[in-house]
Amino acid sequence: MIELEQLKQLIAFATYGTLSKAAEELYISQPALSRSIQKLEKTLGVELFDRKKNKMELNGNGKTVIQYAEKILNLVDEMEEKVNKNNQVQNNFSIGSCAPAPLWDMISLFAKFYPEKYILHKIENNLQLFEKLKNDIYQMIILSEPIDNSEFFCIKYKTEQLFLSVPLSHPLAKKKEIHFSDITDDRMLLFNPIGIWKDVVLEKMPNMNFLIQSDRIIYQELAEMQNLLHFRSNFTLEREDNFKNNISIPIADKEAKMTFYCVCKKNIKNEIEKLFDSFSKNF
């Protein structure tokens, strides 16, 4: 069976021209991308590339698949938007966020003040979130920057600070604070998805070999057993203790601190007034 992720990966290859660049943009390893594309070829029963020494190019089959893949993914996006719009009935509340951690307390607050509501949530970039808020796909969004628009209510929510989790035996463990430029290991462990933090990390550490892991249990096991550097934040430190042989050190770069803002249409603000009132008490 063809997987949507495979179609996205094939489109990424067509967009960026090489497996290495496509893998970087998709935030996966090049071998993983290569295996996924080979699996797609096996499923379809045809080759999608002309493979030459140190070079791959889409062949006619590949270009045909790209055309249909774009249509399929556009239809899926259209379907999700339509379903979400239809699903916004009385007991559903849709929230979009530019990062995962701000959602954790937000969902807890809804459970506290509005237990009858079922929360739908998704991580997207700031531009996508605001466009979908305007089109009523989301009822509230969490952005990394405030919105100055008379049609919307905007309130400061929480600030997230990045830390580096370092084994006690590591040379960096002696530091009181760290800059991204201090991190010179040849690889790091990174949990995915991380939303807008991905842009920050890639910009500040363009040459780092990140080992991407989306399974939280496996991620924690790798971090503890292989003594790999990895990121924490004040949000995760509130929920999880450090590994016994690690220390979390704040990252001093200004990019390592991000303030989040809740935004909604003014008519929605009245529906969830208790939630916004709680911000000053809890945060």
- For the chain, which ranges sit under pLDDT 70? 85-90, 241-243, 280-283
Count of domains in the chain?
3
The predicted-structure confidence for 33-70, as pLDDT tens digits, reads as follows 889 999 999 999 999 988 888 788 899 999 999 999 99
pTM of structure: 0.66
Residue 282: the pLDDT is 54
Grouping H, G, I as helix, E, B as strand and the rest as coil, residue 99 is coil
Percent of the chain with pLDDT over 70: 95
Expressed as residue numbers, the domain containing 267 is 91-158+258-280
CATH number of the domain encompassing residue 19: 1.10.10.10
Same domain for 216 and 154: no
User: 146 and 103, same structural domain?
Assistant: yes
Query: Is 157 in contact with 260 (CB distance < 8 Å)?
Result: yes
Q: Nearest to residue 103, comparing CAs of 273, 280, 279, 262? A: 262
Looking at the structure, tell me whether residues 197 and 209 fall in a common domain.
yes
The answer to whether 130 and 136 are in contact (CB under 8 A) is no
